[in-house]
Structures are given as structure tokens and as C-alpha cells.
Structure 1
Amino acid sequence: MESRHVDWLTFLTQWSGEWADAHRHIEELSPDDIAARRGRWLGADPATEADIVAMEGRLGCAMPPSYREFLRVSDGWRHAGRLVWKLAGTREAHWHDDVMGLGEDFDEYWAEEDNPEEVRAQVGLWSRALQLDVESDMTFVLLDPQDVGPDGEWAVRVWASWRADGDPERYPSFAAFMIAMHQEFHRHAPGRDREDGPAFVNGTTLAQDAAVARARTAALRGRHEEAAALLAEARKYGRPYAHELLEQITQLEGSRGYGVLPPYPDNPRFLSEQLPLRAVDLLNSGRPEEDWHYSDPKVFPDTAGAAADIQRAVREGTHRYQPGGAFGEAVHEAREQARWGDTDAAWQILRAAIPSWEPLGPGHIAPMGLLADPLLAPVLTLERRLEILRTPRGGESGPVPAPAGDRNPDGLSWLARPGALRPWQTSVSDYRMVLVEGVAPDELPALLGSEPGTVLSPPLRQWDVTRHHRSGQRVFSTYEDKPLLSVGRAGPAWSFALEQDPSARFDTERFVSPAPTASVGGGRAIVIWHEWRHDTPLFHVSAAEGGTLRYAFTVSAGTLKATIGDVPAELASSALGFDAPDVTGQAEAAARALDAITRIHGVTVPRLALTEGRLHTFESLSWTRPPGPGETYTTSSIS
């Protein structure tokens, strides 16, 4: 219902009848409420024009249009929502006298200069407002004569002393306030949840439930904006599934504006989707694990054990979304691609399978469990989540949306661009990596592991890598340089192992390229070390084949420092422009070098997986030779 076009007689008659039906089995009612139930009318007699004119004369101003029209139908009202038991008519409305002394404290807070204009506009509310509440639960209903819209309507401010947020809630007009209170009545009416009496069914509930059904069908056909509008209205009336379905849309849209309802064990999505998503929220919030009351057997005796397992798996990054059917098979296949860094391929698999996805009951319109899967959640960029919403699924049909583009640029040169591995930074990122031909990513630890039997970690976020591998490290040596490498596929027949922001600096005298060791199986291996965060930009490449170093070169501050073997012409320092006089030119030269390596070998590394995803990791052998005779080094320990 639009507040600008309220048929007050129809609206108030409908509200009164619904209230009477909802309370027909309630025995503990006041005499006035019994009379209202019997007469099916919560209001009073209409106010005459003379009554309204007398009121305006008493108050010294004309009343806003919708309040005036309301009075012409009912000179007051009972049960305006849950908290206001009687609303003023022409005789009871009066200027608020601030008996609670709220004005001083509120005005001081509202008047602060850094507050937005709409907050500062409330200054003086307690001394100027027209009070409409006559009987209430510590709740003020105030018409603000200084907050006037272009239609002449005064805003209504509602304040309750027990509300945690403090500021009054604003409605643009008296009509908007009354519509909201009718909706509040619906959300809390006796019998609405079949607990206090017969089911609460009337024309309003039937119309809103039909709207929820239409919204669900629209959502499954890919029309999520249309569905969201219907659900937002039905949610105001507390209709079943409205909040739950709207929550799924807003989460995929990247918003949490409607809040998240607590999971319930009788929901078919409880274990597969709701609890994992709540566990992710808990993990990201930094709150203590004790807040996870879903694993308390006293509260959830049937599901506490499963909830504890879910929490642990989410915390460890091992949780897996496992839907059934053809979509479940696609999820498994996509995860295998994502865990080796090929997030674009993972998305292409998921995209093709979305039409085969099936909901788990009437409160389900999208595969929300993907957002809790540690490998697949990073794959779902905002554009891809919107594509899920726009794709027909669950047995419905409709137009297919234009596909969201790939996120991984081809090749390697993106690594030399500002913010490459740290999107929030404007500088070029430091990294070092090994590219190995003819070896799968899970075979790299056997070639380059720091110790015999080195194995890959579970897929880790970048900030968890050091904590996982060296949580108890207390001794550090300047001669020990064992990179923590994230691994994945680097194109057809190639794998990569890369470390972001190496803790060690490149040292020409001490550096030992791992390329020969990585290529002992007979294929080729390329090592790239790009250092930019220090005062002297450095770019190193070394290549080996069959265990033998073929060539290597190092450029420092635009100067070629060392060359070994026959460097391909495409990588000649002068041809690439490393002798540029400024750091910008040297960065462009590094990008050209990476483009050349891409052309020669057909290699690539995935940006999305390295910047936002999770990859398997391992500790490499040292890239620094042991100290020679007479050389000194430092070892430090933390006690």
C-alpha cells in the first residue's frame, strides 16, 4: 500500500477486522478491547470539521494532510502496532513537554558537526514535536512540524526508551507510520505462528503469501530485482519465507541490509548451508568460538555434534559444500579446478551447471552453500554472484544472462603492474616463483621440498601461510632462505610455485637458483625473482632443462649485473628496455620480459587465486647457498 493514496475508511476497517479475528480466542482483554472486538472497529467516531478546526486553533497550526484525513474517519485509534495502545485524536494531541528531560542530551549529540544533515536536523525535536501517543509502552509518537515534505506531510518520529539504537525511527508521514504499524501488527498477531490460537489468515496474509510465491518463481526464473521488491513488502508483514528468500538475494547481491535470521534445525538447509554460512561469519568477525552456541547439546541436542564439525572445518579451511545431483558433481569438479588456481575454469563449470541446481524446499532459491566453501567462495566475484541470480534454475525457464567475464589475465606481465598481488596498493608487488614443465602441482614438494617427505598444506589464504608452516618458529638465520610457495597450474603442462613478498632480499653472491633441481625430471624450469619494494629495483630470470642451468640474468636498477649462458634474444636487457632511467620504465621492461616468457613457453599464473583465493603451499629448499669459509651470518632466536 502506498502512503500517498490511503483510502482511510477501507484501510482502517480492514485493520480492525483483522485485529478482531486475531483476538477472537483471547480471553484476557480490557473492556474497551472487548468492545472493539465485538464492533470490529479499533477507532472512534469520525472527527467533524469543527473538531479539527478547534484542534488546529488550540495548537496554533494546521495539521498535515494524512493526519487530517485520518481524523475525518476516526478521531483516534487503538493498538497502533504493539507498543502504542492508544493514539491521539483531536482532543488528546498536544505539544510534547519533554517530561523525561531528553532534549538536552539528544540535542547535544545530534548537533555534533560531523553528523550528517539528517541527524542534525533533529535538534530541538523534543521541544517542538506534536505528541500523538496517549497510552504506550514507554514509546513516543511525535509529529515533527519542521520536517515537512513537498506534499506538506510532517515526518513521524517514534522513540522507545528501551531501544538500543537510541535515535527515533522516522516515517515520512502519518500515513506511512500507520501502514508500518499495520504491518507490525501482522508480524506479531496472535496465532500468526499457530502458537496462540487458530492460524492467522485473512485477505492481507493471503495476498502477501501469493506475492511470496510469485517472488520465488520470479527469482528462480532469474528476475531477482522483481522478486526482491515483492519479498521486501511481504517481509514487512512477517510472511513465511519472505525474509529467508530476501536474505539469499541480498547476500548474492553483496549486501546484508536485511539482517540474517538465526538458523533452525528443522530447516532443510540447516546443516548444508545455514550453519556453514554462520560459521564463516563467526570466523570473519573475530568473535570467540564460545559464541558458537549451535554446538551446545543442551540447546541443539540433535545437531550439536554436526555443528561442531562444521565450525572446525570452516576454521581449518577444509569445509566442503556438497549438494546432490548433477549440480553436486559440478561443484566437486569446480573445486578441483579452483584448488590448483584455475578459478576461471571453476566458474565455467559452475555456470554451466546452475540450471540443474535444485532447491531444498520452499525457502530456497540459490546455492548459498557456495559462499561458505573456502575454495569456491573466492571464485564467486560480485559479477558472478549476480549471474547466478539472473540464471534460470530449479526447474524454471527464462532468458539466459550474458556471461560474466574471466578474472584471470593471460600470461605473466600482470605481475609487474601496480597492485598486482596487493590490489589495495599502488606499488608493484615483490614475488619470486618457479615455473616447471611436465610436473603437476602436487609433485612440486618432491622436487623442491625443504625436507624429504614434504607435503602440500590444505588450501590456505595468503595471510595463513606462515602461521600454518611456522607457527612455532623461534630461530631465524640470515643464511637460511626457505620460501613458502603457493602452487597451482601455470597453463598446459606447466605448474607454478610462487611466494609473495619474500622475506629475504636477492643476493647475487649467495643466490642459488632452484631451476636445475626443479627440472631434473627432464622438462624445463624457469625461476623469476622480481623485487620492487626496496630502493633498488631488481629482476632476475634463470632457466634450466633436464637438471642443467641453461641461462640466467639479473638486472638491478636498470643495469645488467650478471649473465650466464645464452639468454634468448627476446629477453635481452637492451631489447626490453631495462636501461630506462626511471623506475616506471624499468617496471615496463619487467612486464615486457614476462610477456616474452609467456610467448616462449605459453605459461600463465592466476591472479584471482593468488590475491583472493586459497592455494596449497609447501616450504621449499633454501634458495641461498650455505656460508663459505670465513663468511659470517647471524642467527636470532625468540624466547
Structure 2
Amino acid sequence: MTTHPTWFSWSSFLRDWSGEWADTPADDATVTPVEADEVARRERWLGFPAASEERIAALEERLGRRLPPSYREFLAVSDGWRHAGGFITLLAGTADACWHRDASGLAEMFEGFLDDDPSPEELRDVAVWRRGLQLDVQSDATRVVLDPGDVDEDGEWAVYTWASWLAAPPRRFPDFAAFMRAMHGEFHRLRARAADGEPELACTTTRRLDAQVEQARIQALGGEWERAGRALEEAAEYGRPAAAGLRDQMDRLLGRTNLAHAEELVTDPRYAPELLPPLVAEHAAHRHRDDTVLTYRLRGAGDDVVALAHTLLEQVRSGTYRYTAAGPFGEAVDRAREAARWGDTGEAWRTIREALPLWQPLGPDHLAPLGWLADPLLGPLLTPERGRELLSAPRGGQPGEPRRESDAARSDPEGLAWLADQATPGAHTSYRFVLVEGVEPQELPGLLADGKGTGLDEPMTSFEARSRWRQERREVSVFDDRALVAVGRAAARWSFAFDCDGPLFAPQQFGSPVAACADARTVVVWAGPRDRNGAPFFHLSVARGGAELYTFTCADGEVRRAGPIPPGLAPDRFFGAGKKREGAEAAIRTERALLEAIADEFGVRLPRHAITRGRLHTFTTRPWSRPPGDGEARTAARLECARTDGHGARGPSAAAPHPLTPHPGGGPSRSRSPRQQP
């Protein structure tokens, strides 16, 4: 159902608009000094005499259609309109309204843009110019039509506008009243951007909207963000001060960065430390080579703000930016970063959320903490659900109880079973991980590396870590199956080392990376949807101090086991008779059941959000394949990997076969055990 604001009526709306227009200077860019305008200015009326019911009915008879209600109501107050916004000089009344019939050639133009599989929206953009009712009589390259093919349940026709200078698709309005309110807003917005020195337009509309902005600001701080957002959106359309900047802050927390483009508060030195970092991070993420793009977005800013922006840009690009805040909230931010550093993004988010009542704004137009969005460890915590949760929390001294965490905001499932979900972001063909009990994550390189990766790299995304790893490896032995693993906490007493890009599993060549783990208990899992023969594979081994306690492997359709396996992990529970060659869906169910059993047995979990979207420390393990035994030959190759030239270019390099896959022959040498060497 079409609804209008409670303050809206055509008579008062049009009368107010006319008076506001008459009060603008005659040389305003939106005013053309012609005789008709001089009359309109004296009479304070942009419209015409009302159309009688007979004139409206005659128009409907000529068109063969009943007019939509809002346009009909408009005509009953004014039979046409001058200066609808800044670019439509004359809008049609009963005498001028007519079927467009592609008089502008826009249907033909948009038709030329269609590909072989056009979307419904693209087809609509063609059709509206052939079937629409033309309303623009005089305009600055702007077309306006009412579309009888886009009708709502109240009989309202949508309005479509297009301007050549916008270089954008046609803009849609749900009805004629919405279109006219938008044009009224355009008039005010253009007036608000008028040259310096011109008096501000103070009127009923601006006073109403300014009061609305102030009320919305308080509502937003109190957690009523949806209600506040609607009020700010209207005020921003009218160009009211701070409205766009306030709405911008909300859009960023909701993940709508395509809508967050207002710079009016970003250039204010009071707010720049909080509002600049996400803007700068967005610029860096788009990999702009020309930083004048950022400078342009900060036009009007003082030298101190521009200098701060470039300092932040350097920090964001180098990964050294760290968000800080004052007081107890800042202390909570530090704790949250430490939790996120080791993969506990759920705890990191809860720490920030629970500290929100302690947060204080930098000024009256600051709605929420935003600098953390650019922090390499804290930024990945944001999801649309968490953004809504943050905006729903009272803060900045506003009263109210924080809402309990929603299920949607919990981005991490418990346990390990999510690894079997093929729809997981960054879906993997196979994965492998080590769980170590009683040690901290930073101790893992000393237990799982052999001197070639004894330290932790700085936290990086999986993509960043793997790109850097490939560039830094000057020589690769294809049977030396080392893994680049991300590390973190799997439980209160467990740490994990996870590789999301494991190769195919060959049970005869497997060698556990767990060697000298003191008295620690370790769990090794290697799984994937398919081995080289087309069957699922799953390996589990549990050891203490490097000595194997029990193990089982399902590969090539067979199950091999050793040691006293606990009943909860017994292979017969999962790989019984008839399950050796199960279908893909059944294999995934089996994998999920195995992962759930392992999580229950050891009380562990892996953080999905941190692994798939966050940044974690990494290091390189010792090989996961054993060396060749006596009398055993194995295909091997060595690959020289070119370093980048500093600009992302790479030298030529040859592709190497996978270490566990036989080479098709030719090229690589045969690797033998020491006793076989000539």
C-alpha cells in the first residue's frame, strides 16, 4: 500500500515549496529569469490553476486509461508545475501529458545495450519509454514518464526519470508523490550547495528537518537505528547539515559501503581519527594507484586532515594500523584484538559488544566507533548482523539495556563439522590440521617445524599468506610436503595449526608432522572429498610426546587401523559394511559425523570466521610425507620459484607435479633413499 508522510498534503506541500522557491535569490542557478517566473515569484506560486474533474476525465478519455491516484490528486490542486527540482522547467498538466512512444529514442538506445540474456530490469528500461506517459515538457536533458506497466496494489504508477549527464540507469520512484517529494528535496539540496556568501534558506521545511536530524541522532545513540535511519535518509535527500554524515556512519556498520560516500564529517578534525580509517581502508582495498582519488574525496579538508589520511593510508597498506580508543572502551578493544589474534573472533566480538555502553563519542555527530573497521585484526569481525547488533546497543551515555547477542551474529559454529560444508566461504578440496594440548599457539612452530619455519609470521588472510609463501620459496622439492598453517586456540587447553589447501592423501607416503611434542597430546586430521581414485579419504591419528597412541585411515575404499581406538571414534561406527563406495552426499554426512565425534572426544573447535575471513599468524611445518624407504623409488622434481620484481611481476617458472601424484614421465629425476644412490 502506498503511504505518505503524516505531514504531507498536496495543497500545503506545493504552497510551501512555492514560497521557498520565491525566497531564493533571482540569480540562483535553479531559477531561469523569464516573465512567467517573475509572476510566480510575486504570487509565490509555482503551479497553475487547479484542473477541474472534467479536464482530468477528458485527459483520461484521451489516454484510454484512468490516471494513478497521486497524479490525479496533484492535478486537482495544480494543473502542471514549474521548476520541479533543478532540471525540469515545466511538468505536464492535463493539456500536455501524452504517451511518450519513445519520442526521445531512449528505448532504442537501451535496447542496443542488451545482451543475449537481459535481466527483467534491463528489459523494463527499454519498455518504459514506449509505454510511458510523458510528463517532462521543458527540461535540461531530463526525461520523466509515468509507467502504466509498473502498477502497485493502490493503482499507483511508478515514475521513471533519466538524465544523459548522470551516466546511470533510469531512476525509479514508486509513485508520483514520491517523485515530487524527491524533486523538492533536490531543490533544497542544490540550494544547500549554493556558493558561499548566499544566505541560508530558513523555512518550515528546513526547521522541521533539522529538528528531525537532532531527534534521529539521539535515537541512533539509544539503539533505535532503523527509525533514525529513515529520518536521516529524508534529511540527507534535502541536503541538511550532518544528515548524510550520520547516515554514512550507519551504512558503514551495515556493510553498505556503496552508499557510504558522505565526506562532510570526515573532513572535520574532531571526527577524522574515527571516520577517516574506514574511508582510507576502502581506498586501499580498491588498490587505487592514484592517491589523488583519496585527496579528491577529502576536498575542503584542512592540511592536518589530509596529512592524517596519508599517514593512515601508509599504515593500512603496510598492515601496521592499530585502532585505539580512550578509557575503558579502549582497554576492551585491546583485549578483543588479542582474542582475534588467536582466532577467537567470537570472544573478540563479545568483548567489544559488552563494552559499548562505555564508549564515548568524539562530538555530537559521532554515532558509533568506526576506526576499528580498518584494523587488520578487528575489521574482519564485522558482519551485517553484528553491525545491526552494534547499532542496536545504547551507547554514548544514552540509557537502555544492551540487547543479548543474536544467533545470527554468532558467525562461528561450535565444533569441527563446518569443515564438511561445501558451501563454506573459501571452500577447500581438502584440509588438514594438528591439535596440540597444553601449549599456547605461539609455541607450535617449536613443536611442528624443523628449523625452516621456527617463527610466526604476522597475521594475514589465507590468500595473503599463501601469496607471500609462494614468492619466498626459492626452491621446492615436490615430495617435501610442508604445509603453511594458520594457528590459534581450539579450546581452553588446545591450540591448532590448520592448512586449508592440503593435497591429495596417499596413505603409503604419509608421515605425521608431529615429532617431538614433549608430553603433549596431539591430534592429526587429514580429510578431503576425493582421493586420486575418486573416493573420499579421512585420516585420524592421536599421539603423545610424538609416540602414536592410535590411528585409522579410510582411503581407496578401505579402512586401516592401529592401536586402541576409543569407542566414540571407532571406524566401524562410520565405515561399516556397504559404506566403502558411498555417494557424495553420504560421504559428506560421514565426514560430518567423524568431525563431530572428534570435537566431542577432545572438546575442541576450529574458528570458521577467523580461518575463512580473518587474519591469523602462520608458519611452515615439517613435511607431512615420510622420506623414501630402503629399495623405494619415488618421483620427485625441484622447482625454482621466481621472486616478484617488487611490482607484482613474476619471472617464468615451470609447473611442478604434486608430490603425491606420479609424474607422467620425462624431466624430473628419480629420488632414491641414501642406500640406493650410486
TM-score range, shorter chain: 0.7 to 0.9
2:541 is the alignment partner of 1:525: no
Deviates more, 1:363-372 or 1:483-492: 363-372
> Residue 431 of structure 1 corresponds to which residue in structure 2?
431
Larger deviation: 46-55 or 403-412? 46-55
- For residue 344 of structure 1, what is the amino acid of its counterpart? G
Question: In structure 2, what is the Cα distance between the partners aligned to 1:621 and 1:542?
Answer: 17
- More divergent stretch after superposition (63-72 vs 361-370): 63-72
Seen in structure 2, the aligned counterparts of structure 1 residues 358 and 582 have a Cα distance that, compared at 3 Å, is: farther
Give yes or no for the alignment of 1:229 onto 2:226: no
Please state how far the C-alpha of 1:338 moved relative to its aligned partner. Answer: 1.0
Matched with 1:30 is: 33
Whole-Å separation in 2 of the counterparts to 1:68 and 1:586: 64
The correspondence for 2:389, drawn from 364, 387, 390, is: 387
TM superposition shift of 1:57: 7.8
Aligned 8 A contact 1:148 1:155 in 2: yes
Q: Could you say which residue in structure 2 is the equivalent of 1:476?
A: 476
Aligned to 1:512: 511
The residue identity in structure 1 corresponding to 2:247 is L
Residue among 325, 334, 338 paired with 2:327:
325
Q: What SS class does the counterpart of residue 165 from structure 2 fall into? A: coil
What CA deviation, in whole Å up to 9, does each residue of 1:337-375 have, x standing for no partner? Answer: 111011222122112111112223333322233333332
Q: Does 1:499 align with 2:499?
A: yes
CA 295–459 in structure 1, closer or farther in 2 if over 3 Å, else same: farther
1:62-93 deviation line (CA, Å, top 9, x unaligned): 76554454445444432211001233445555
Instruction: Please say if 1:401 is aligned against 2:409.
Output: no
Q: Answer whether contact 1:459 1:614 (CA < 8 A) is retained.
A: yes
1:335 and 2:337 equivalent? yes
Structure 2 CA distance for aligned equivalents of residues 621 and 210 of structure 1: 66
- The whole-number CA distance in structure 2 between the counterparts of 1:149 and 1:569 is 63
Matching residue within 169, 178, 191 for 2:180: 178
1:182-201 → structure 2 map (5 Å cutoff): 182-189=184-191, 195-201=196-202
Deviations 1:594-638 (A, max 9, x none): 555545543332222222222110011223334456534321432
- CA distance in 2 between counterparts of 1:465 and 1:596 reads 31
- Post-superposition Cα deviations, 1:27-60, rounded to whole Å, max 9, x if no partner, equal 9962534443343332344556676677778878
**Equivalent residues of 2:528, 2:537 under 8 A apart:** yes
Instruction: Measure, in 1, the Cα distance between the counterparts of 2:485 and 2:85.
Output: 61
- Whether contact under 8 Å (2:450, 2:622) holds in the other structure is yes
Tell me if the contact between 2:487 and 2:495 (Cα under 8 Å) persists in the aligned partners. yes
Look up the SS of the partner of 1:206 in the other structure: helix
Q: Is the 8 A contact 2:98 2:134 kept in 1?
A: yes
**Displacement of 1:484:** 0.5
Equivalent residue, structure 1, for 2:349: 347
Paired residue type of 1:177: F
**Distance apart, 1:546 and its partner CA:** 3.6
Task: Indicate which of 86, 90, 99 corresponds to 1:86.
Answer: 90
How many angstroms apart in 1 are the aligned matches of 2:515 and 2:443? Answer: 16
Query: Which letter does structure 2 place at the counterpart of 1:561?
Result: R
Partner secondary structure for residue 539 of structure 2 = strand
CA contact (8 A) 1:66 1:153 kept: yes
Gaps of 5+ in 1: none
Residue 480 (structure 1) shift: 0.9
- Flag the 1:241–1:449 CA change in 2: closer, same or farther, 3 A: same
CA distance in 2, matches of 1:597, 1:322: 39
Partner of residue 168, structure 2 = 165
Question: Matched residues in 1 for 2:14 and 2:329: separation?
Answer: 49
Q: Does the Cα contact within 8 Å between 1:450 and 1:619 map onto a contact in 2?
A: no
- Residues 4 and 144 of structure 1: is their aligned pair in 2 closer, same or farther, counting only changes over 3 Å? farther
Q: What is the aligned counterpart of 1:370 among 369, 372, 383?
A: 372
Secondary structure of residue in 2 paired with 1:22: coil
| Distance in 2 of aligned mates of 1:621 and 1:246 | 51
Q: Within 5 Å, give how 1:136-175 maps onto structure 2.
A: 136-144=139-147, 154-167=157-170, 169-175=171-177
- Paired position in structure 1 for 2:616: 615
Whichever residue aligns with residue 245 of structure 1, its letter is: L
Change beyond 3 A, Cα 1:6–1:358: closer
With over 3 angstroms needed to count, the CA separation of the structure-2 counterparts of 1:542 and 1:346, relative to structure 1, is same
1:11 matched to which residue of 2?
13
SS in structure 2 opposite 1:239? coil
For residues 482-541 of structure 1, the C-alpha deviation after alignment (integer angstroms, 9 at most, x for no partner) is 111111112222211111131363443x43323232x13x33233222243322433333
Where does residue 573 of structure 1 map in the other structure?
A: 571
Structure 1 CA distance for aligned equivalents of residues 67 and 467 of structure 2: 66
The corresponding residue for 2:555 is 556
| TM-score of the aligned structures, taking structure 1 as reference length | 0.85
What is residue 272 of structure 1 aligned with on the other side? 273
Aligned to 1:206: 207
CA apart distance, 1:566: 4.9
Quick one: distance in 2 between partners of 1:96 and 1:297?
Answer: 39
Q: For 1:283 and 1:157, how far apart are their aligned partners in 2?
A: 36
TM-fit CA distance, 1:107: 5.5
SS of structure 1 residue aligned to 2:625: coil
State percent identity of aligned pairs: 43
Match of 1:249 in 2: 250
Distance 1:567 1:194 in 2: 80
**AA paired with 1:573?**
P
- Structure 2 Cα separation of the partners of residues 24 and 200 of structure 1: 13
Deviation at 1:394, TM superposition (A): 1.2
Matched residue SS, 2:12: helix
1:360-416 CA-to-partner distances (Å, cap 9, x unmatched) read 33333222333333322333333322221221111112243232244444444554x
Q: Could you state the TM-score of these two structures normalised by the residue count of structure 2? A: 0.80
Question: 1:366–1:560: structure 2 CA closer, same or farther, 3 Å change rule?
Answer: same
Partner of 2:216: 215
Shift of the alpha carbon at 1:203?
1.0
Q: Per the alignment, in what secondary structure is the counterpart of residue 433 of structure 1?
A: strand
Deviation of 1:26 (Å): 5.5
CA contact 2:157–2:175 (8 Å) conserved in 1 = yes
In 2: Cα distance, 1:120 partner to 1:600 partner: 57
**Is the Cα contact below 8 Å between 1:341 and 1:615 reproduced in 2?**
yes
State the distance in 2 between where 1:298 and 1:594 align: 51
1 CA distance for matches of 2:592 and 2:8? 65
Structure 1 88/608 Cα, relative in aligned 2: closer, same or farther at 3 Å?
Answer: closer
Aligned-residue Cα RMSD (Å) equals: 3.8
Give the unaligned 5+ runs of structure 2. Answer: 640-652, 655-678
Q: Deviations over 1:89-137 (max 9, x none)?
A: 4555555576654454346668987442x66456565566554434321
Q: Once the 2 structures are TM-superposed, how far is the Cα of residue 465 of structure 1 from its aligned partner?
A: 2.1
